[in-house]
Amino acid sequence: MNNRFELLDRKKDRFLLVLIILVFSIFFINVFKPWNIGRWYSDSTVIQFFRLSSYGIISSLVLLFTQFPLRKLFSKSTFSLKSYLLWLLLEVILISLVYIFLYGNPVGNFVNDFLFSLKYTVLGIFIPYSFALLLIYYKKHSEEIRHLKNKLATPNENRLLTFTDEKGNMKFSVLHKDLLYIESTDNYVAVHFLLDKKKQRHLLRNTMKNVERELKSNTILRCHRSFIVNTQNVEFLKKNNKKLSLQIRATDKTIPVSEKYSSLLLKVLS
């Protein structure tokens, strides 16, 4: 539950969520008329179409508000799975309240109206919301596969490695062959690389886990909780009993290797 929920980190994916829910809801409600919703009011065919469509439009407008200005107000650029489920609950409650004020009687029996509205909001939003997330997941997965294929088609040494911050914003790029190692430092990672044959160091606000996942290379490997190394720039490997350490080209840094990563690293370096 504490894993990062990444499907709606990007603005374009959030817009896609709102658009899919809008179109799907209008189509689904008008075609299938679930829960005899068409009989809730005595209205003509045209008026009924606009009334039923308004349910989808209202849900989409509330989501547009929660996914953009409200997330910005609360600085929610990223979520864990647990925090996003709480955010989704907040969205459902807001949609239910809007329905009550537009179609119910908030001055009368508010509790009963709210429970009634909440029930049908959950039932109504579940299918389009799940469908939207599945499409976004498929889209992101396809993009990652294309990105990986492009990486594999480019020789490692000529490939640019792009480094992003914790919000996914691009900060800088380094040639694969010039990357030396990456080190964890509190809430930052320090990227060590060569530029014009001189060693450079850039700080990046991100986690080692995110950086490791984004680089996705069979030569850039995690060797320790605090270190990722470019195995192409390993000049010296030392083994003392069961402990391994590495010496990286153009540095005097000795990098430890955890037992957890030693077998894979030895296979790559052998």
Which CATH number do you get for residue 171?
2.40.50.1020
* Domain range for 197: 156-269
For residue 194, which phi and psi values (nearest 5 degrees)?
-105, 140
Mean pLDDT over 217-239 rounds to: 90
CA distance 2 to 23: 32
For position 94, what pLDDT does the model report? 95
For residues 87 and 219, state if they share a domain.
Answer: no
CA distance 181 to 219: 11
- Of 101, 119, 151, the one marking the end of a domain is 151
Q: Which two tokens stand for residue 186?
A: 């509190």
- Of 125, 151, 177, the one marking the end of a domain is 151
For residues 128 and 19, state if they share a domain.
Answer: yes
- Of 117, 151, 185, the one marking the end of a domain is 151
128-156 per-position pLDDT tens digit: 999 999 999 998 888 777 765 665 555 45
The pTM assigned to this predicted structure is 0.57
Name the residue type at position 10. Answer: R
Mean pLDDT over 26-54 rounds to: 83
For residues 112 and 245, state if they share a domain.
Answer: no
Among 22-26, 112-116, 192-196, the range scoring the smallest mean pLDDT is 112-116
For residues 96 and 229, state if they share a domain.
Answer: no
For residues 214 and 138, state if they share a domain.
Answer: no
- Return the number of other C-beta atoms located less than 10 Å from residue 9's C-beta: 15
For residues 43 and 109, state if they share a domain.
Answer: yes
65-101 per-position pLDDT tens digit: 999 999 999 988 888 899 999 999 999 999 999 988 8
% of the chain at pLDDT higher than 90: 44
Among 153-167, 207-221, 246-260, the range scoring the smallest mean pLDDT is 153-167
